[in-house]
Structure 1
Amino acid sequence: MSFVAIGLVLLSGFVHAIWNLFAKKSMNKHVFLWLCYATSVLVFSPYLWTEGTSLTHVHSSEWLVIAASVGLHGAYIYMLAVTYEIGDLSQVYPIMRGTSPLLVPFIGVLVLGEQLRLLGWFGVACIVFGIYIAGNLRLSGLWHRRNRAIWLALCVGVLITTYTVVDKVAIRSVPPQLLTELTNIGNFLTLSLIVMRQQGIKKEWRMNWRTIVLGGVLSPGGYILFLKAMALSPVSQLAPMREIGTVFGTVMGVFLLHEPQGRKRLWASVLITAGVVLLAQ
């Protein structure tokens, strides 16, 4: 595996954790993310001019993949805002990031008939146990409202899994920067449907304009780093490595936001990360 790809993925994971910290700290999550993606659309708009000509060579079947990518990212960003409205960063972030590498091996075994080594099953156990600890799940009353944040985080993880696979296919047709700008536009339009019925846009901008601008650059910028890494190495090797961001996000939630159950959630993030590493072996 390329050392450049490894560096890009690790940096991507750190950047992802930072802008998620900004989103959690905001007042109105949907408004904050809407303003972030308005910024993203403007900042990355030059890619539409410099690389937009490549769209003229895209076939109809490839357009379906691109449209699927845009739709999945839009659903992801909406669900992310809902999850952060009710869940702690150090609680839901490890679950969101740990779900993706957990699902892939299960799909491979149950649907594709693949085999998973003992070490891989141990990795699965680490991730499941880590998610259980991070979410503070109680098996009695599993569907109780108090567990809503955990189930939402799992839904976000499913969306992350799906759009990662779809994006791997999409960047065969369009450059990573252009695909990211298209998803920026999709995210902005998706959140517009929600934000236009809400109040507090001016207040959110006045209170958080610095993190909005920075988040508007870091959110798509971090994913561009990951897309560029995927162009250099297989996604099956890179996607698990990116989950080191699980530890970054949990540390930020515990030490910067002073969220409860810090020691337990830190151990959970380490377990999830260890499980991901074992699955990648």
Structure 2
Amino acid sequence: MEFHVFLAVLFAAVLHATWNAVIRRGNDRFQGMLLLTVTQGFMGLAMALFVPMPSGIVWVWVIGSGALHTAYKLFLAAAYQHGDLSRVYPVARGAAPMMVVLVGFFLLPDSVQIKEYLGIGLIGVGVMMMANGAFKDGEVRSFIPLALGSAACTAGYSIVDGMGARVAGHATMFTAWLFVFDAVFFAIFTGATRGRLAFVASRKAWSIGAAAGALSLMTYWIAVWAMTVAPIALVAAVRETSVLFAVLIGVVVLKEKTSAGKFIAASVIVVGIVIIRL
């Protein structure tokens, strides 16, 4: 992975942790995710006006991606109803890069070096170490299966988006349309399960949703672009370093509890990043 791509993905990780913190601070995480997704869909539609239309098989990749992104957000919003940012986020993100590596080893054409596999493994282990407290202390654990469902969807859309954007040959076009379909699917699900009242929110709530949506779209455009020029497994792993920033935000801004174990886990993640860049 070239250095400028590496830095771009790290920047995307910061943005990703930031929009998750915005959603976590809200009273209704599901509605927060809905407002984010809807405003993001309109942004994607505006972007689509300035890029070529998808054609042929690209539509299959785009629609599949939209469905996976919707499933990911539904799992994540549900998990945030049961757990803190610093507990949900590591579980939701930690398993994903390992899943991508496992699937990618057999199905993806990317060339990944042994040391890069080692770095990916350390990042995955470090992220899961961040979540260790969720499995052993007395706090509510009901978010764990929801967070793992989110991780599986993350792995799925990472692979689909990386391959789909390569087939499309245009990262911006692919990103714009995947978020349009994501918004459509999410809105349909919400209307069917919560009714029209779910879309009724204050101007402040819509403003927060728009801000989070813009951050989310920007971070994922960077990721999709990176996956067209670098191995998908590497991009997915470096992107998951967002857990460092999520835990920092959780502790400093949201006043959530932390421990020495999380600092050790952070060190493992940093070592993994360094190995990838050696």
TM range (shorter): 0.7 to 0.9
- With normalisation by structure 2, the TM-score equals 0.81
Question: How many residue pairs are counted as aligned between the two chains?
Answer: 272
Partner of 1:99: 95
* Conservation of the 8 A alpha-carbon contact between 1:250 and 1:269: no
Distance 1:108 1:170 in 2: 14
Equivalent residue for 2:158, pick from 161, 164, 173 = 164
Deviation at 1:21, TM superposition (A): 0.6
2:225 is equivalent to residue 228 of structure 1: yes
Shift of 1:50: 2.0
Compared CA separation, residues 111 and 166, structure 1 to 2 (3 A)? closer
Q: Which residue of 2 aligns with 1:184?
A: 179
- The 1-side partners of 2:222 and 2:120 are apart by 26
Deviation at 1:188, TM superposition (A): 1.8
The 1:7/1:139 distance shift into structure 2, 3 A limit, reads closer
Matched, 1:2 2:2: yes
Alignment of 1:115-126 (within 5 A): 124=121
CA distance in structure 1 between the partners assigned to 2:267 and 2:172 by the alignment: 32
- Mark the runs of 5 or more structure 1 residues left unpaired by the alignment: none
Letter in 2 for 1:49: L
> More displaced, 101-110 or 13-22?
101-110
Tell me if 1:150 matches 2:147: no
Higher mean Cα deviation, 251-260 or 97-106? 97-106
What's the TM-score once normalised by structure 1's chain length? 0.81
**CA displacement at 1:15 relative to structure 2:** 0.7
Unaligned segments of structure 2, at least 5 residues: none
Contact residue 254 and residue 262 of structure 1 kept, 8 A: no
Residue type at the aligned position of 1:16: H
Between the aligned residues of both structures, percent identity stands at: 24
- Paired letter, 1:27: N
Q: CA deviation at 1:64?
A: 2.4
Shift of 1:110: 9.2
Q: Letter of the aligned partner of 1:85 in structure 2?
A: Q
SS in 2 for 1:19: helix
Instruction: Output one character per residue of 1:219-267: Cα deviation in whole Å (capped at 9) or x when no partner.
Output: 1111001112222222233222222211011100111111123544444
C-alpha distance after superposition, 1:188-220 (max 9, x if no partner)? 2233234332546444x3443432221121111
